[in-house]
Amino acid sequence: MNDFFTTDISYIIFRKCSASWRMPRHKFPYTDITYIIQGSARYTINGIEYDLSAGDLLCLPENSIREGVTFHDRPMHCFSIDFRLRSENGALVKLPFPIVSRIGAKRDIISMFHTLYYTWRHKQTGYMLKTHGLFLLILHRFYELIVSNSDSTAGDFRIKKVIRHIAEHYAEKLSVEKMAQLAGLNTSYFGSLFKKETGMSVNQYVIKTRIKNAENFLVSGEYKVEEVAMICGFSDVNHFYRHFKLLMGSPPSYFLPNRSDKLLS
């Protein structure tokens, strides 16, 4: 799926169905995603029945024939968005999602949907920019859960706290002992838990974070290699050079935008 696309949003609704709610059979011209957060419903899509409950995502391609009914003893609550997805050149893009995905009730997604719906309804200045931004974030979360089969919100909250700290303070002196204190764990257990969650040691993660930030500084063309090394927490330029080449596959000078700078470094 191309990462560069725009959305043409036609309609957003937070639907709280009554016990007698029914969607009549009709052909729908837009792509539709419906995320159920409470209750259950039965949708018939192109002649096939799907029983849905809280935590299910229904994704309908354009021109699907649909009808639906909720269950009187557990009326459905859901968010629905009608839209078209377009690539850079304006061509229609189809979401790589199945008709039904059992992704579970995700609090962060539900919160984003509530904000999206409020933004769409109240239409304050700049609301379309915020609407499209929120919708793309929601699509990204669905893509992550359904296509990548991963969940960036999962994992130990203590390790996430440390990761956020590293992201903000990567240029400072960071010891395993201090990180363990931040997580409220003893050093030995913290080290093993961090590696279990991230796949690398604390020191490896810190170095990787520094190197990735160094890449951004180098690409900007505003700094020399030696300056980037110091900015990103490396007191030894040779140490920086060795780790950078090992992780990135090329020396730091390769990422400088000016060719003469590359040759001089």
Kindly report, residue by residue over 117-145, the tens digit of the pLDDT: 999 999 999 999 999 999 999 999 999 99
User: How would residue 240 be classed by pLDDT, with cut points 50, 70 and 90?
Assistant: very high
Contact 55, 76 (CB under 8 A): no
Note the pLDDT of residue 219.
92
The Cα 57–Cα 84 span in angstroms is 17
Radius of gyration of the chain (CA): 24
* More confident of the two residues 84 and 155: 84
Note the pLDDT of residue 87.
84
What percentage of residues in the chain have a pLDDT greater than 90?
84
175-182 — which CB contacts under 8 Å span 24+ positions? Answer: 176/202, 176/203
What confidence tens digit (pLDDT) does each residue in 74-123 have?
Answer: 999 999 999 998 888 888 888 999 999 999 999 999 999 999 999 999 99
**Is 248's pLDDT higher than 90?**
yes
Residues 73-106, buried b or exposed e (16+ Cβ, 10 A)? eebbbbbbbbbebeeeeeeebebebeebbebeeb
**What is the average pLDDT value for the chain, to the nearest integer?**
92
Q: DSSP character for 181?
A: H
The Cα 117–Cα 128 span in angstroms is 12
Note the pLDDT of residue 262.
45
The Cα 181–Cα 162 span in angstroms is 10
The Cα 59–Cα 95 span in angstroms is 8
Domains of the chain: 5-146 (2.60.120.280), 157-264 (1.10.10.60)
Contact 59, 97 (CB under 8 A): yes
What confidence tens digit (pLDDT) does each residue in 46-57 have?
Answer: 999 999 999 999
The Cα 122–Cα 14 span in angstroms is 14
Note the pLDDT of residue 214.
96
What confidence tens digit (pLDDT) does each residue in 180-227 have?
Answer: 999 999 999 999 999 999 999 999 999 999 999 999 999 998 999 999
Q: Which two tokens stand for residue 249?
A: 């596959």
